Structure formats: structure tokens, C-alpha cells
Amino acid sequence: MSPARSSASESRGRHTPEATGAAVPGSESPAGSRPYNPITQRRASLMGEPVLVLNATYEPINVTAVRRAMVLMLKGVAQAEELHNSEVHSAAHAHKVPSVIRLLAYRHIPQQSRALSRKNILLRDRNTCQFCGRIFPSSELTLDHVVPRSRGGRSSWENLVACCYRCNNGKGDRTPEEAGLKLARRPRPFTLHTSRQLMRLIGHRDERWRKYLFY
């Protein structure tokens, strides 16, 4: 091969997608990222869907995710009372996705509030930013101290709210009044009454829940 033709070949090689780091169909993603897989994304979304949990007496006591509900069923702790049309496939089996499960042994439910946690704050506030009123995925929400910690604000049910990052950054180290923001509702502890209100709210979206929510 002549020097001129060799140079042209090398030049073409330098501009291939592999050489420049561009994505190539069938190739691995750049380090630190995963290729988008719509099937995996749908399965992850399905496993996070809400499931109504009934006590052994058919009294609704909780809302959990499909993933946790299926673990309880596989352990023999609960059984499915209502099913989705969807299935989750493992290497050897196809499992119907539950919409309502019932515990096989009666569990006493104390009347006190739930544990204070990020998950329960977001559940109480229905994944809604308490300043702008918009609904977000959990990953796009943070917790805001209504009275900033620098002002003596505590990490409590009455002082923590779900907040989007934009409102959180805009509020900064100020009270809502100082930042020109208004709370959608006054934050309160997550009680059993609050939990049942949420069950009814979600029950309007899933008709399979409704017959268990009249109590």
C-alpha cells in the first residue's frame, strides 16, 4: 500500500464511531452508564406499583410495592386476593402480579404514627411538592425543613415536607414566608387515619381495591 493510501485509511479509521467514542448499535455504553432497555424499565416500573395489604380478617392495613408483596407471597406469609393482568417472569416460572394480598396470620396494628422516614414523608405528601403542587417521581423529590435547621427547626413530622429540587434551591435557608412560598397543607404525623385516606385515594384508580375499602 502506498504512503498516501495508508494515510487515508488511517484518517478514515480515526473518524469511525468506535474511535470517537460515539454510541454504536450493539456496543456497550460508555463507562459508568447502562444501555436503555425498555423491557427492564417496564419491569422495574411494574415492581414498584402499589399493592393493598389486608390483615387476616380482610381489614386493609397497609400499601406496599409489588416487589415486597411477591416476597411475602413466596415466603408463605400472604396470599393474593386480587391479581393484575400482568406477569413477572423468572428463569423457570411466570408469576401473576398481585393487586391485593392478605396476610395469613392476624397482625395487631398499633395506633401510633409510622416511623419518620423519607419514604413515609413522600407517601404522606403523595409525591407532591408542598410548595409548587406538582407531582414528581420519588427520585426527583427531596425533603425540606419548613423551619430551617439553622433556625432551630427539627427533623419531625411537623417540620418536614416533600419538595422538588427547584423549590428547595429557591427556598434556601429561609422560611416559606421569607422565600415568598406557601405550603399546600400543614404537615402532620402519618397516622393510621392518614394511611386509610391514602388507601381510598389509590383505590379510585384500581377498582380491585374498592370492595375492601368500605369500613
pLDDT over 60 at 11, yes or no = no
CATH 1.10.30.50 domain range(s) in the chain: 118-179
pLDDT over 70 at 147, yes or no = yes
79: helix, strand or coil? strand
Strands 50-54 vs 94-103: parallel, antiparallel or unpaired: parallel
| pLDDT top residue among 210 and 173 | 173
pLDDT digits (tens, 9 = 90+) for 176-215: 999 999 999 999 887 766 677 777 777 667 788 888 886 5
User: With the C-alpha atoms ordered 173, 187, 121, 170, is the resulting torsion angle positive or negative?
Assistant: negative
| pLDDT top residue among 100 and 45 | 100
Mean pLDDT of the chain: 79
| Residue 5: C-alpha distances to residues 2, 13, 181 (Å) | 5, 12, 68
| pLDDT top residue among 184 and 113 | 184
Quote the pLDDT of residue 43: 60
pLDDT-derived band of residue 113, with 50, 70 and 90 as boundaries?
A: low
Residue found by looking up cell 394511611 in the block: 195
pLDDT digits (tens, 9 = 90+) for 14-67: 444 333 333 333 334 444 445 545 545 566 677 888 899 999 999 888 888 899
- Strands, DSSP E only, in 26-159? 50-54, 60-65, 78-89, 94-103, 141-145
pLDDT digits (tens, 9 = 90+) for 116-136: 889 889 988 989 999 999 999
Question: For residue 93, which amino acid is it?
Answer: H
pLDDT over 80 at 95, yes or no = yes
| pLDDT top residue among 138 and 214 | 138
Task: For the chain, report the end-to-end CA distance as a whole number of angstroms.
Answer: 86
Quote the pLDDT of residue 18: 38
Decide yes or no: CATH 3.90.1150.10 for domain 118-179: no
Quote the pLDDT of residue 103: 97
Quote the pLDDT of residue 13: 43
Distance of CA 26 to the CA centre of its chain: 30
Quote the pLDDT of residue 10: 44
